[in-house]
Amino acid sequence: MKFISWNIDSINAALTGTSVRAGETREVLKKIAAESPDVIAIQETKLSKNGPTKKHLTVLQELFPDYEVAWRSSVEPARKGYAGTMYLYQNQYAPIVTYPQIGAPEPMDDEGRIITLEFPDFFVTEVYTPNSGNGLKRLDERQVWDDCYRKYLQELDQQKPVIASGDFNVAHEEIDLAHPANNHHSAGFTDEEREHFTKLLNAGFTDSFRHLHPDEKGAYSWWAQRVITSKQNNSGWRIDYWLVSDRLADKITSAGMIDSGERRDHTPIELEIDL
């Protein structure tokens, strides 16, 4: 099976925007569609609590005619039009869709950050992990989130194997970002965030990309949108992941990034696995 995950940074802009960047985003969506993945996970949809509009669904149907849509948006008391996740999955499948609450600090559980698809023999779940924020103002809450999320994945893993993707908002090791020495106190590369990601892997999960490419340098999934030269200079971070239960690791056949051209911010990540 083939899976693709992407932090799209506003699906409304992607589907209805007229900017150059919106056009770049749609080109990436077309590239994803051409791959014919079984499941597409999308983070940071930034939709209203009512989810995709009729116009959004029409454009999605044009791009992905053989797919069903599941979505989750931020709801009060969380901020409106914030975070949010979505799945597109081929209509040959009929997974059970759930929208878990994990006991995270308020209002994180209301920010639409997790959707899970249950297939007969495995779970597919996506996450948009909270960013620790400017000045690390949300780092304490983020660490609680990490503990709650790890417990949730372990609970799934006790039932059947798990395939988990998303924007985890952490570069795990120094090899996972271009300038580690300058970022030890930056959100996404603090000791605390990295330690929690290590705990997650140690709880029974494999980083699919590093499993196949243990020593590859310069492989990133995010480049700062506001820094014009970030992608030209490959000054990036790898903060998006496909994780699998350890017992699935030997079934991974491919894991990597999909080229998003000149578009900065996140690029899609891909997993192929023999299930």
Q: Has 265 been labeled as part of a binding site?
A: yes
Per DSSP, the residues of 192-210 read HHHHHHHHHHHTTEEEHHH
Q: Which of 167, 176, 207, 240 is catalytic?
A: 167
- Interatomic CA distance for residues 155 and 138, integer angstroms: 26
Give yes or no: 128 in active site. yes
Distance from the first to the final alpha carbon of the chain? 7
CB 26 within 8 A of CB 8: no
Q: Which of 56, 172, 196, 266 is catalytic?
A: 266
Q: Which of 67, 82, 128, 149 is catalytic?
A: 128
Q: Has 7 been labeled as part of a binding site?
A: yes
136 — phi, psi (to 5°)? 55, 35
Give yes or no: 176 in active site. no
- Bridge partner list, 222: 237, 266
232 contact partners, CB below 8 Å, separation of at least 6: none
Give yes or no: 149 in active site. no
Q: Has 169 been labeled as part of a binding site?
A: yes
CB 16 within 8 A of CB 59: yes
Specify whether the backbone of 24 is left (phi greater than 0), alpha (psi in -120 to 50) or beta. alpha
CA dist list (Å): 66 to 38, 97, 143: 10, 18, 39
Q: Has 56 been labeled as part of a binding site?
A: no
- Interatomic CA distance for residues 147 and 104, integer angstroms: 9
Show the DSSP H helices in 123-185 as ranges: 139-157
Q: Has 109 been labeled as part of a binding site?
A: no
CB 134 within 8 A of CB 95: no
Name the residue among 16, 30, 12, 1 with its Cα closest to residue 259: 30
Q: Has 179 been labeled as part of a binding site?
A: no
Can you say which residues are annotated as belonging to the binding site? Answer: 7, 44, 167, 169, 265-266
Which sequence positions are flagged as catalytic? 128, 167, 266
Can you say which residues are annotated as belonging to the binding site for Mg(2+)? Answer: 7, 44, 167, 169, 265-266
